[in-house]
């Protein structure tokens, strides 16, 4: 929702970034205020995931110019774990499998690292049990998944749900969901979207990266951006997604 | 000690003394010792001493019986022995006739006559620990063998014989610990697993950081027997384990798991041989090294299948995690297969921590040091989780 006079959470200005010496982001501008939901669409390889990883602080991506301000502070000065504890969350397009680390242990360590940073008491095993039971319900995830290794052998859709469980645990202020909808069946899509909606409020914000207008029927964006060749080339309301669905991306290059 | 046991030990010592005149201290010029230089051991004037200082043993709450040996000398008052259908003896002085026939049948029968370190041990063999299950023993007990070490420039050559009668079961945990001084332990453990018997064997090496540790384990397996060994190497400045397993009947099962976790300038060397010379033997070996700082891991895994070893199913995997650019691993599988109808596989991997996995954890608010610890523990989990004793699994959560 757009709230008048809302505080700016994220401000990206003229951001350029490269990986292995190849420039990918070529001047991204984006402003996200508390309460808002933004969608980023755009063709394969246009730089959407790169943008999300730069925000999260992936060491392989080198910022070569521009600035990122998060809650009024220079995000680029923070290590990835500090960004996470400060409230920036990235749901990965391809969540990793971590054999040998149980999901419950992973979630508890993560939860307590975040809580400690925010001045909240850490949760012991019992308290965490209650806490996580509630969080699993956000995406109707079976508690049996807690005892398995992180994402190991999970189906594509189960991995995406697990990302949202992590989001629920970390209670971010800005969540970036990179193609969380791909790999989900129709019912799962509704459940995950409802979960994301349940987690959003007027204090936080969400950026959803997607290829499909369908998701935006459930997570209704305030803004839709189109990324092409490392830039946001067009911004509109939710109707823009419908237009893109109907016409594809080619007309943009002709008009812009 | 009965006169005949005394004569047996005397004969073993005399033969060893004789053989040692024909042998020499291993040098790096030999293929088997390429990476492990024993020169420092050779140069120190070692002494065999009993010390009054009491070294604490690692607690092993699961143990039904325990033997404590300090600098190779049995500590009667600290041990819990048994002389029933199961014999757990820290000394063979005063053994019952049944046990002395076990000594005659097995002691010194499976060792390598040309191995210098074994012969050094034999030369010093005035007594030994004996663990024996008689054929009427039906329970499954856990035995802890605590080898404690201390004393500057002290050497010890502890010897242990483990014999399982057919159809019996046992878990034996050897634990090697010691003080921070420069000492040398050169233990030899001989094992016979009878027909359809099952032995779970754990060797926990956590010697002091200045210690030298050279261990020999020689195993014979009768047909249809099960033998599992899990070696955990954490300590010592230099450690070497010579492990030799030889089935002497068909359809044996052998599981060998090694976990090495070292740092600083430590070196941990494992040389193993599994010799399949009978049909339908199955062996599965997994060796994992976690190497930090300037530590050095060595693994040489020989698997031999002779012509008689038809339908052998043998697999071996060496996996290594290098946590520092200065750490080093030398790993070499060595397959010598003559039989034609066998299934054998082997592989070796050397890796660093996965950057993407590290980033994934960091993106969940976990700092890099904690993330490294978590991912390292995950690498070791496969072995840790299969250790049958909870107290040891728990200790490993923190290494
Ligand atoms: N590590 C890398 N090395 C080389 N090129 C890379 C690397 N990471 C990304 N790229 C390139 O950067 C470009 C942008 O990739 P990115 O993953 O950001 O695209 P995307 O918009 O998320 O695409 P998709 O819709 O397919 O997920 C692509 O051309 C990709 O090949
Ligand atoms: Mg992408």
Ligand 1 pocket mutation, candidates A16, A18, A19, criterion most atoms within 8 A of CB: A19
Tell me, yes or no, whether B153 lies in a domain.
yes
Query: Using the beta-carbon criterion (under 8 Å), do A113 and B377 form an inter-chain contact?
Result: no
Does an H or E element contain A254, and which?
A: helix A250-255
pLDDT of A1 reads 83
Of B185, B387, B383, B187, nearest in space to B288 by CA: B383
A170 CA to centre of ligand 1 in angstroms: 27
pLDDT of B54 reads 82
What ipTM was assigned to the predicted interfaces of this complex? 0.96
Tell me, yes or no, whether A125 lies in a domain.
yes
Stretch B162-180: mean pLDDT: 97
Q: How far apart are CA A1 and CA A53, in angstroms?
A: 25
- Indicate whether A245 pLDDT > 70: yes
pLDDT of A173 reads 97
Give yes or no for A96 touching B (CB within 8 A).
yes
Q: Which residue of A has its CA nearest to B377?
A: A100
Evaluate: CB of A142 within 6 angstroms of ligand 1: no
Tell me, yes or no, whether A186 lies in a domain.
yes
Residue B245's domain comprises 3-249
Evaluate: CB of A50 within 6 angstroms of ligand 1: yes
Q: How far apart are CA B70 and CA B65, in angstroms?
A: 17
pLDDT of A254 reads 66
Tell me, yes or no, whether B346 lies in a domain.
no
B80: phi then psi, degrees, rounded to nearest 5: -120, 105
Among A59, A109, A114, the residue with its CB nearest the CB of B359 is A59
Evaluate: CB of A221 within 6 angstroms of ligand 1: no
Task: Count how many pairs of residues, chain A against chain B, have C-beta atoms within 8 Å.
Answer: 76
Tell me, yes or no, whether B309 lies in a domain.
no
pLDDT of B3 reads 87
A103 CA to centre of ligand 1 in angstroms: 28
Does an H or E element contain B219, and which?
A: strand B212-221
Q: How far apart are CA A84 and CA B132, in angstroms?
A: 58
Tell me, yes or no, whether B347 lies in a domain.
no
- The Cα of B330 is separated from the nearest Cα of chain A by a number of Å equal to 25
Residues B234 and B376 in one domain: no
Give yes or no for A99 touching B (CB within 8 A).
yes
Q: What is the mean pLDDT of chain B?
A: 95
Per-residue CA distances from B198 to B59, B250, B329 (Å) = 24, 15, 33
When comparing pLDDT for B120 and B398, which is higher? B120
E-state strands within B11-122: 65-70, 73-74, 82-83, 86-89
Best B259, B361, B365, B397 member to test A by mutation, with max A CBs in 10 Å, is: B365
Residues B241 and B363 in one domain: no
- Indicate whether B109 pLDDT > 70: yes
Of B334, B344, B346, nearest in space to B312 by CA: B344
Contacts of A173 (CB under 8 A, 6+ apart): A9, A34, A71, A86, A87, A88, A203, A204, A205
- DSSP 8-state code for residue B59: P
- The Cα of B7 is separated from the nearest Cα of chain A by a number of Å equal to 53
| Residue A106 with chain B: CB contacts under 8 Å | 361, 364, 374
* Final residue before a domain boundary, out of B217, B249, B281: B249
Please give the tally of structural domains in chain A. Answer: 1
Residues B89 and B229 in one domain: yes
Q: What is the DSSP code string of A102-160?
A: EHHHHHHHHHHHHHHHTTPPPP-HHHHHHHHHHHHHHTT--GGGGGSEETTT--HHHHH
Q: Which residue of B has its CA nearest to A116?
A: B365
Q: How far apart are CA B214 and CA B191, in angstroms?
A: 17
Tell me, yes or no, whether B106 lies in a domain.
yes
Tell me, yes or no, whether A172 lies in a domain.
yes
Contacts of A130 (CB under 8 A, 6+ apart): none
- The Cα of A4 is separated from the nearest Cα of chain B by a number of Å equal to 31
- Paired with B74 in beta bridges are B69
- Taking chain A, what is the end-to-end CA distance rounded to the nearest angstrom? 28
Best A80, A152, A167 member to test B by mutation, with max B CBs in 10 Å, is: A80
Evaluate: CB of A52 within 6 angstroms of ligand 1: no
- The Cα of B203 is separated from the nearest Cα of chain A by a number of Å equal to 23
Query: Using the beta-carbon criterion (under 8 Å), do A99 and B378 form an inter-chain contact?
Result: yes
- Indicate whether B398 pLDDT > 90: no
The SS3 of residue B117 is helix
**Whether the Cβ atoms of residue B366 and residue B374 lie closer than 8 Å to each other:** yes
Of B193, B262, B197, B272, nearest in space to B230 by CA: B272
Q: How far apart are CA A235 and CA A243, in angstroms?
A: 12
Please give the tally of structural domains in chain B. Answer: 2
Evaluate: CB of A19 within 6 angstroms of ligand 1: yes
Q: How far apart are CA A228 and CA A252, in angstroms?
A: 9
Tell me, yes or no, whether A128 lies in a domain.
yes
Number of DSSP helices (H) and strands (E) in chain A, helices first: 9, 12
A45 CA to centre of ligand 1 in angstroms: 5
Give yes or no for B367 touching A (CB within 8 A).
yes
Tell me, yes or no, whether B228 lies in a domain.
yes
Specify the CATH number for the domain of residue A247. 3.40.50.300
Give yes or no for B49 touching A (CB within 8 A).
no
Apex A234 CA angle, A231 and A236, nearest 5: 140
**Whether the Cβ atoms of residue A204 and residue A36 lie closer than 8 Å to each other:** no
Tens-digit pLDDT profile for residues A147-200: 999 999 999 999 999 999 999 999 999 999 999 998 899 999 999 999 999 999
Stretch B156-179: mean pLDDT: 97
Q: What is the DSSP code string of B337-373?
A: E--SS-EEEEEEEEE---HHHHHHHHTTT--HHHHHH
Tell me, yes or no, whether B288 lies in a domain.
no
Tens-digit pLDDT profile for residues B332-351: 999 999 998 999 999 999 99
Question: Which residue puts its alpha carbon closest to atom 25 of ligand 1?
Answer: A44
Query: Using the beta-carbon criterion (under 8 Å), do B370 and A113 form an inter-chain contact?
Result: yes
Give yes or no for B397 touching A (CB within 8 A).
no
Look at the block and give the residue holding tokens 């749901």. A91
Evaluate: CB of A220 within 6 angstroms of ligand 1: no
**Whether the Cβ atoms of residue A37 and residue A9 lie closer than 8 Å to each other:** no
Stretch B107-134: mean pLDDT: 96
Residue A120's domain comprises 8-255
Q: How far apart are CA B29 and CA B310, in angstroms?
A: 35
Contacts of B162 (CB under 8 A, 6+ apart): B131, B132, B170, B172, B189, B190, B191, B192, B199, B201
* Final residue before a domain boundary, out of B249, B267, B296: B249
- Indicate whether A256 pLDDT > 80: no
Tell me, yes or no, whether A1 lies in a domain.
no
Tell me, yes or no, whether B35 lies in a domain.
yes
Tens-digit pLDDT profile for residues B236-265: 999 999 999 999 999 999 999 999 999 999
CA quadruple A180, A183, A186, A187: dihedral sign: negative
Apex A76 CA angle, A72 and A79, nearest 5: 110
Per-residue CA distances from B394 to B260, B387, B391 (Å) = 16, 10, 5
Q: Which of residues 115 through 144 in chain A touch B, CB cutoff 8 A? A: 117
Look at the block and give the residue holding tokens 């204090």. A203
Nearest-atom number in ligand 1 for the CA of A50 is 18
Q: How far apart are CA A256 and CA A233, in angstroms?
A: 8
Tens-digit pLDDT profile for residues A54-88: 999 999 999 999 999 999 999 999 999 999 999 99
Tell me, yes or no, whether A3 lies in a domain.
no
- The Cα of B67 is separated from the nearest Cα of chain A by a number of Å equal to 34
Apex A187 CA angle, A183 and A188, nearest 5: 45
């Amino acid at each position: 929702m757009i709230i008048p006079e809302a505080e700016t959470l994220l401000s990206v200005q003229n951001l350029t970034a490269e990986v292995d010496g190849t420039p990918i982001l070529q001047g991204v501008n984006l402003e996200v205020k508390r309460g808002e939901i933004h969608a980023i669409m755009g063709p394969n390889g246009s730089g959407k995931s790169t943008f999300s990883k730069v925000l999260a602080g992936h060491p392989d991506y080198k910022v070569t110019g521009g600035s990122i301000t998060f809650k009024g502070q220079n995000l680029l000065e923070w290590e990835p774990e500090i960004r996470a504890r400060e409230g920036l969350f990235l749901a990965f397009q391809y969540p990793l499998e971590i054999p040998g680390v149980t999901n419950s242990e992973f979630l508890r360590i993560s939860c307590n690292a975040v809580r400690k940073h925010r001045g909240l008491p850490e949760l012991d095993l019992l308290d965490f049990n209650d806490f996580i039971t509630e969080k699993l319900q956000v995406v109707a995830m079976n508690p049996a998944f807690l005892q398995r290794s992180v994402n190991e052998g999970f189906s594509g859709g189960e991995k995406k749900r697990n990302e949202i469980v992590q989001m629920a645990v970390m209670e971010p202020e800005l969540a970036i969901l990179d193609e969380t909808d791909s790999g989900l069946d129709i019912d799962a899509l509704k459940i995950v979207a409802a979960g994301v909606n349940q987690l959003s409020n007027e204090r936080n914000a969400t950026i959803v990266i997607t290829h499909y207008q369908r998701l935006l029927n459930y997570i209704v964006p305030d803004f839709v951006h189109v990324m092409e060749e490392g830039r946001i080339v067009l911004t509109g309301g939710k109707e823009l997604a419908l237009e893109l669905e109907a016409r594809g991306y080619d007309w943009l290059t002709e008009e812009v | 000690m009965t006169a005949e046991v005394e004569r047996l030990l005397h004969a073993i010592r005399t033969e060893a003394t004789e053989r040692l005149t024909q042998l020499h201290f291993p040098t790096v010029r030999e293929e088997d010792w390429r990476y492990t230089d024993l020169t420092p051991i050779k140069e120190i004037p070692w002494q065999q001493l009993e010390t009054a200082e009491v070294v604490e043993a690692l607690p092993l709450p699961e143990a039904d019986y325990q033997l404590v040996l300090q600098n190779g000398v049995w500590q009667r008052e600290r041990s819990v022995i048994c002389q029933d259908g199961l014999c757990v003896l820290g000394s063979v002085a005063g053994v019952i006739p049944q046990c002395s026939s076990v000594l005659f049948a097995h002691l010194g029968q499976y060792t390598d006559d040309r191995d210098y370190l074994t012969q050094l041990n034999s030369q010093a063999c005035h007594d030994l620990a004996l663990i024996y299950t008689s054929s009427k023993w039906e329970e499954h007990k856990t035995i802890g063998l605590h080898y404690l070490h201390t004393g500057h420039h002290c050497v010890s050559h502890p010897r242990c014989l483990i014999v399982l009668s057919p159809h019996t079961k046992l878990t034996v945990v050897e634990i090697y610990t010691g003080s921070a001084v420069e000492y040398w332990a050169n233990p030899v453990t001989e094992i016979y697993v009878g027909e359809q018997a099952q032995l779970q064997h754990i060797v926990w090496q956590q010697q002091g950081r200045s210690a030298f540790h050279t261990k020999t384990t020689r195993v014979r397996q009768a047909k249809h027997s099960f033998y599992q060994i899990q070696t955990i190497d954490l300590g010592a400045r230099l450690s070497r384990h010579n492990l030799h397993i030889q089935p002497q009947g068909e359809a044996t099962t052998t599981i060998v798991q090694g976990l090495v976790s070292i740092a600083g300038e430590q070196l941990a060397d494992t040389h193993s041989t599994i010799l399949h010379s009978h049909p339908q033997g199955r062996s599965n070996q997994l060796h994992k090294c976690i190497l930090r700082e300037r530590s050095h891991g060595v693994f040489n895994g020989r698997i031999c299948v002779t012509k008689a070893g038809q339908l052998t199913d043998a697999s071996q995997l060496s996996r290594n995690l290098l946590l520092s650019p200065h750490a080093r691993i030398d790993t070499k599988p060595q397959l010598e297969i003559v039989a034609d109808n066998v299934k054998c596989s082997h592989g070796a991997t050397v890796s660093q921590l996965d950057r993407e996995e590290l980033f994934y954890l960091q993106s969940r608010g976990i700092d890099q040091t904690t993330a490294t610890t978590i991912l390292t523990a995950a690498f070791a989990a496969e072995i840790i989780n299969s250790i049958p004793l909870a107290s040891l699994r728990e200790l490993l959560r923190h290494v």
